[in-house]
Structure 1
Amino acid sequence: MIESLDSADDDETALDMFRALVADSPDSPLLDYFDNSLSVDDIDRLSDSLAAGLSDGGFHEGDRLALYLQNVPQYVVTLLAVWKLKGIAVAINPMLTGHEVSKLLADSTPKVLVCLDELFTLGIATAVANSTVTRVITTSPLDWRATIADSSIVANTVDGLDGCEDLSELIKHNDNRKPPHLSPVPDDVAVITYTSGTTGVPKGAMNSHRNVATGGRAYRDWFGLGRDDIILGIAPLFHVTGLSGHIASTLAAGARLILLYRFTVDEVARVVRDKRPTFTVGAITAFIALANSPEVRHADLASLTKVASGGAPVAAATIDNFEDLFGSYIHNVYGMTETTSPVLAVPMNSRAPVGTQTEALSVGVPVITADVAVVGDDGLPVAVGELGEVAVSGPQVITGYWNNPAADAEAFRNGRLLTGDVGYRDDAGWFYLVDRRKDMIIASGYKVWPREVEDTLYKHEAVLEAGVVGQPDDYRGESVMAFVSLRDGFETTPQELIDFCRSRMAAYKYPREVVIVDAIPKTVTGKVLRRELRPGIQPELHRPG
């Protein structure tokens, strides 16, 4: 088994990694987007020009720039431009509404917003007008799809928006200009990344340059990534998986990154067929979608020899099915926004064991410099095999949340980050997750972990996805309620699923009610949003028929 790896380059930032590539291999391809390929030098020149234009407009060290983009090259170019000015990027989910965006803008107080033109026209103009943003720069997902020749860039396909600048024109206007030469130090904040909010209001995690660089090295060293690797970017770049598992790992390994704008099974199959990527990391839901697509399930994905998934514990049957279809074993990884990268992962050439207290696979062993423990309510490590809260420390862990000391006080104890995940460690050093601490159900005085019920439901051939919550019960205090979506072509009834679980679980564990819905609400990383399944929210879910 691989031991935790030593980080010899603890003071290196992701920008340092990029500048090393510029000096060593400027002509190497770095980023593919549809029919366009951008070299290291292309990305350096474009980000220099943008940084110069931002600097002229009064963007200085410590200022924030919000990124409201899909997986487009402009994301990487803008991120590097911000870092070259020692600024801070604010990553915003492009699926958020104007109301939701306004909250994040109010929290992070950015000076500049770079966003897709189509998103700006779909309802965030009011949020921006009521924020600290003084400069809006828009871009199109169709920009840069064709090859960039010399200094020309494909023009924005949408006519100029009132009060907005066009990113391509701004870069073209500042072509071949150099910004002030600044270098962030490792403890400077690189990105404010908002938590997924599975339990409430998102918090702004301050991912430092040290955190981001550590994340890139973690993926590089754990999965053996090098310059011959091609990374398929299926995770959203605004999420920490995209930041570390795609952008930072590309810079750390000197690899090549393929961006797809948004994940679709057909486009993934085409890109794998045509460009033969070797590594990807994404939500398990992405791999389930590939395996369940009649058009894709017979596609040749054999080039993907290094595959990882994080965000939620995974049932063994899911990974076995993907491997049977495509020949690739999915390696579990575990991390969170606050850890910037995986802190636990299944080593290459190893297979995760199934837990004794849960039927989900192990999430791995500690990776690069991560100190991972299972602790009790007193914050002290518990015995092997005993349940407790997973706690983490190391150079990938944030030092705190943006302007939120109350959240800091709740999340950190004894120098460790308390993850909120309940799990245990076996005597071989493998870690297992049981569930979120806040999601535990107390039924008739007994503890029920939703994950265990969900894992049982996944054994039914008709169940595609499942989410389990507790609901008030006058007799039991709480009872177990399950929501399920079904596989295409399969039928079942709520009572059949209740009976299925009852035959396999203790009396206090099986669900008393099952609701069949079109889809289970999830985060972008595939975590079930159980708070949206709880009483008061449930009626908004669409039931088939």
Structure 2
Amino acid sequence: MNLAALGEENVRTWGEYVSLHFEGREFTNREQQRAANRAANALARLGVGPGDRVVVMLPNCPEVLQAYAAILKLGAVVVPVIFLLSPEEVCHILADAGAKVAITSPELQDKLGSFPGATVLVGGAGPGARAWDELVAREADTRAIVDRADDDVAVILYTSGTTGRPKGVALSHDNLAANARAAASLYELDRREWALMVLPLSHSYGLTVMNAGHVLGTRGVLLRWFNPGLVLETIQRFRVQSMSAVPTMLVYLLHAPDAGRFDTSSMRLWGSGAAPLPVEIVEPFERKFGGRILEGYGLTEAAPVVAAHRLSGVRKLGSVGQPIPGVAVAILDDDDRALPAGEVGEVGVRGRNVMRGYYGLPEETARALRNGWLHTGDMGKLDADGFLYIVERKKDLIIRGGFNIYPREVEEVLYAHPKVAEAAVVGVRDPLMGEDVLAFVALRPGAAATEDELIGFCQARLAKYKCPKQVRFVDALPKNPVGKILRKELRALAT
């Protein structure tokens, strides 16, 4: 099967209806399919065919949805890229994926560097690039979907790896379709009412919300990016009933100025995922805005949803719910044996949603996929009712506002500074972002540097959200007898 079939099935199942609203414009599901067909025909003229990788780096807009569908219709592979990444990170992804075409905007084109493939720009023109509007305008609005095997790769999502370089998570057509259908089966709201789409469509969470919407025949108001005031205004205007978010967004909304003047009484469901939800915000948030916050759990390698709460079911605060249909979860010991309820171990996941592997990284894949389980690296426990609790995220991983930051990636940049002798990065609790980045730095003998200097050095080389918020200078980093940095001691110093 081809994941693009979900969009065409949507039209056949539900008929033509207004499925999308974006910045004053409305689109029917059939119009979106026709636009995707024109885009597919245009990309085919650029030589895109089955298996080719196409990067899409844009903020949320209808063209993102059209581009994804177009690429998939051709049997090619979608490579979504978060537009917040630095040029160095973007260039690595382009090269690692072997991208044939990059679709972006004039404002972001410089991040492509000396990309040798074809560049297509949405919303304007640029040097050496083709304009999206001109390419698609002259194409026919029909296109047959190229058939693909269930396990053929449909999407490669890049996530920071332990090597400090982004690594591609290869997800198949069946991975994503199965996860979308399973997530959709939990939906208990009126499909004719509006849902708010504010998650980045370049994020695995946003992708699944989009795919589940095809299955359900729902209607979405799409925002270019998150803005608390605009979110509340949109909820009031469209009588929105549901929104999926990361916890940081919910914190921003809770503390938004004049939030009380907006009518959010239509809201029934606030989905929360991609990072741990601070339990302490749930009661004041629901009292202020109405509806229920339901937390779930997932990871890109699981396409991504693993566990969730049901709106009509029991909610256990602190839990991320129960495994969704078709997904098995076990708590594993160091020998991959399942532990009984209440005991803490590594969360293992099994099901059709589990990735094909890390693109071009067989050794990394073998480490993650062992003995029939996806090893998440997250520590958790199951209770007697099968509810999953994440006790500790990946030991060194920092999750800032729903975005994953691996310390080594930041540390390697700090080590590149000529005045730095040693560096280590840890996460510190932040009431707004969930976690933020704290760097411990030991300078070279006789060297002098300021906090602003090192933060600025990082900002020139990394996405801003990955950069340290604070830098603490120390004489030396704590180490064990074999020279390994003791992060546990650094975390203790950070509190």
User: So what's the TM-score if we normalise by structure 1?
Assistant: 0.72
Aligned partner of 2:385 in structure 1 is 428
Distance 1:59 1:22, change over 3 A: same
Note if 1:240 corresponds to 2:223.
Answer: no
Matched, 1:124 2:124: no
Is 1:366 the counterpart of 2:327? The answer is no
Identify unmatched segments of 5+ residues in structure 1.
Answer: 1-11, 141-157, 355-360, 441-449, 455-466, 470-479, 488-517, 522-527, 538-545
- Say which of 259, 278, 294 aligns to 2:241: 278
1:268 equivalent in structure 2: 231
Equivalent of 1:138 in 121, 127, 134: 121
- Structure 2 residue 264 is matched with structure 1 residue 301: yes
For residues 280 and 186 of structure 1, what CA distance do their matches in structure 2 show? 30
Please point out which of 80, 84, 87 is paired with 1:91: 80
Change in Cα spacing, 1:390 to 1:168, as seen in structure 2 (3 Å) is: same
Tell me which residue corresponds to 1:406.
363
Cα deviation 1:272-292 (Å, max 9, x = unaligned)? 111122222110100110011
Structure 1 residue 214: Cα displacement: 1.9
Separation of aligned partners in 1, 2:468 and 2:377: 15
Partner of 2:71: 82
Whether the aligned pair in 2 keeps the contact of 1:30 and 1:257 (CA below 8 Å) is yes
Give the counterpart of 1:169 among 127, 134, 138: 134
- Once residues 472 and 148 of structure 2 are traced to their aligned partners in structure 1, the CA distance between those partners, rounded to angstroms, is 47
Residues 222 and 347, structure 1, Cα contact 8 Å, conserved in 2: yes
**TM-aligned CA deviation for residue 32 of structure 1:** 1.1
CA displacement at 1:186 relative to structure 2: 2.2
Match of 2:29 in 1: 40
Kept in 1: contact 2:4–2:145 (CA 8 A) = no
What residue identity is the alignment partner of 1:312?
A: A
Find the aligned partners of 2:71 and 2:266 in 1 and give their Cα distance.
34
Moved more, 268-277 or 24-33: 24-33
* CA distance in 2 between partners of 1:165 and 1:252 (Å): 33
Match of 2:70, SS state, is helix
1:168-187 → structure 2 map (5 Å cutoff): 168-174=133-139, 176-187=140-151
Per-residue deviation at 1:533? 7.2
Per-residue CA distance 1:433-453 (angstroms, 9 max, x = gap): 11134339xxxxxxxxx99xx
Amino acid in structure 2 at the alignment position of 1:342: V
- Taking the aligned partners of 1:414 and 1:533, their CA distance within structure 2 comes to 41
Distance 1:388 1:486, change over 3 A: closer
TM-score by length of 2: 0.79
1:340-378 CA distance string (max 9 Å, x none): 132111222235335xxxxxx011111111000000000
2:439 is matched with none
- Provide the C-alpha distance between the structure 1 equivalents of 2:67 and 2:470, rounded to a whole number of angstroms: 37
Q: Which amino acid aligns with 1:334?
A: Y
Q: Which residue of 2 aligns with 1:249?
A: 212
Q: SS in structure 2 opposite 1:424?
A: strand
Aligned to 2:158: 194
The question of whether the paired residues in 1 share the 8 Å contact of 2:2 and 2:72 is answered with: no
1:517-532 equivalence runs, <5 A? none
Query: How many Å separate the matches in 2 of 1:195 and 1:94?
Result: 13
Mapped to 2, the partners of 1:397 and 1:366 lie a distance apart of: 13
**One-letter identity of the residue aligned with 2:194:** I
The one-letter code matched in structure 2 to 1:350 is G
For 2:429 and 2:394, how far apart are their aligned partners in 1? 22
C-alpha displacement of 1:254: 1.0
CA contact (8 A) 1:55 1:179 kept: no
Is it true that 1:219 corresponds to 2:197 in the alignment?
Answer: no
Alignment check: 8 A CA contact 1:198 1:531 kept: no
1:390 aligns with 2:353: no
Structure 1 residue 34: deviation in Å? 1.3
- In structure 2, C-alpha distance between the alignment counterparts of 1:439 and 1:59, rounded to whole Å: 39
Instruction: Give 1:395's aligned amino acid.
Output: R
Task: Decide whether aligned partners of structure 1 residues 417 and 536 sit closer, same or farther in structure 2, where only a CA change above 3 A counts.
Answer: farther
Q: Distance in 1 between matches of 2:144 and 2:312?
A: 46
Separation in structure 1 between the aligned mates of residue 470 and residue 166 of structure 2, nearest angstrom: 18
Q: State the SS of the aligned residue for 1:313.
A: coil
- The separation in 1 between residues aligned to 2:392 and 2:64, in whole angstroms, is 34
Which of 42, 51, 71 does residue 60 from structure 2 map onto?
Answer: 71
Q: Does 1:327 align with 2:314?
A: no
SS at match of 1:31: strand
The superposition leaves residues 61-119 of structure 1 with CA deviations (integer Å, 9 ceiling, x where unpaired) of 11111000111100000000011100001011100111110111111011000002211
CA contact (8 A) 2:319 2:387 kept: yes
Give the C-alpha shift of residue 535 in structure 1.
Answer: 6.9
In 2, the alpha carbon distance for the partners of 1:57 and 1:536 equals 52
What residue number does 2:301 align with? 338
Specify the code of the residue in structure 1 equivalent to 2:155. V
Q: Determine if contact 1:424/1:433 at 8 Å carries over to the other structure.
A: yes
1:231 Cα deviation after fit: 2.3
- What does residue 452 of structure 2 align with? none
> Is the contact made by 1:219 and 1:225 (CA closer than 8 Å) also made in structure 2?
no
Q: State the distance in 2 between where 1:438 and 1:532 align.
A: 20
Deviation at 1:483, TM superposition (A): 4.0
Query: Aligned partners of 2:185 and 2:162: how far apart in 1?
Result: 30
Question: In structure 1, what is the Cα distance between the partners aligned to 2:134 and 2:426?
Answer: 54
Percent of matched pairs sharing the same residue: 29
Contact 2:2-2:145 at 8 Å conserved across structures: no
Unaligned runs of 5+ in 2: 408-424, 433-454, 459-464, 475-495
How many angstroms apart in 2 are the aligned matches of 1:533 and 1:228? 47
Kept in 1, the 8 Å contact 2:228–2:256? The answer is: yes
Distance 2:289 2:141 in 1: 47
Distance in 1 of aligned mates of 2:204 and 2:38? 26
Higher mean alpha-carbon deviation, 366-375 vs 249-258, is at: 249-258
Q: Please give the alpha-carbon distance, in whole angstroms, between the structure 1 residues aligned to 2:38 and 2:367.
A: 42
Q: 1:434 to 1:297 in 2, by over 3 A?
A: farther
| Match of residue 281 from structure 2 | 318
Distance (whole Å) between structure 1 residues aligned to residue 213 and residue 336 of structure 2:
36
Paired residues, what number? 423
Are the equivalent residues in 2 in contact too, given 1:71–1:260 (CA < 8 A)?
yes
Please say if residues 59 and 83 of structure 2, whose CA atoms lie closer than 8 Å, have aligned partners that are also in contact: yes
Amino acid at match of 2:118: R
